[in-house]
Copies of this chain bind each other. A is one copy, B any other.
């Protein structure tokens, strides 16, 4: 079966097109990974890259991209609105299919080891790859940013990196390397203009107030449509699947006599998460993602490339 990992590195250049293209070229030259998207934000002065492929191929492409960032970006000259601590700022590995979170944690560790050996950039493991609870949250890891870390690292024992030297790289700073689940942006629209109801339902489903473990949720007004919305991030659809959250929202809305009038998936969603929904609704017995024709085609392509 096809093993598929997504990598979404962020690097600290969002203005100089020539530099950005040179860095992206490092992914493009790997014919065995597929560059799905990249987008630069000049205000943030930062570029997000998305590519996918088999684990080993993704790691190699990420390494080449990261080394090129170290070569071309000088953090002493970098300014942007988004918090950052390194030329190659974050490198998360995300399991898509045929791959466990443990596989992605291992990939993150291997990446951090090889990258720090090659470049002397210190690496911090975050989210599912974190080795200390206080490094789970990326915001914690990045607190103080490049300028702050430069002063603290080597002195503060809490800032000892997981890989690489216990000192900042003079131009490339430090890098956060992690493993996390695919994030699904899922919104449910309610047939009312009463924002309180959206807020109450958001509270019912989100982790922070007692709801599902892998749900972040807020209530919003959609003024132009005269309705309200429960806007969510599902941070681990294997743990908390889309259909279960949807059922709970329908049930809570019913308690107020309010209909669910629609929902939205913003951006991409893995096939597995769509199949979970169909599987639940149709009460499927023994259905496998590999029965989806397009998945079978992908598997065939990946076999023939070996």
Contacts and interface: CB of A to CB of B under 8 A. Distances in A.
Contacts of A4: 294, 297
Interface in A126-157: none
A271 B271 contact: yes
* Interface size class, chain A: 35 or more
A8 interface: no
A39 interface: no
Contacts of A235: none
A292 B271 contact: yes
Nearest to A296: B36
Contacts of A263: 282-285
Interface of A: 4, 6, 34-36, 52, 96-97, 182, 189, 242-243, 246, 260-265, 267-271, 274-275, 277-278, 280-287, 291-298, 300-301, 304
Given A265-B291, A277-B281, A280-B281, 5 more contacts: A36-B293, A265-B282, A269-B293, A271-B271, A294-B294
30 contacts: A4-B297, A34-B297, A36-B293, A36-B297, A96-B294, A97-B294, A182-B293, A242-B282, A243-B282, A246-B282, A260-B283, A262-B284, A262-B285, A263-B284, A263-B285, A264-B286, A264-B287, A268-B291, A268-B292, A268-B293, A269-B293, A271-B292, A271-B295, A274-B274, A274-B278, A280-B281, A281-B281, A294-B295, A294-B298, A297-B298
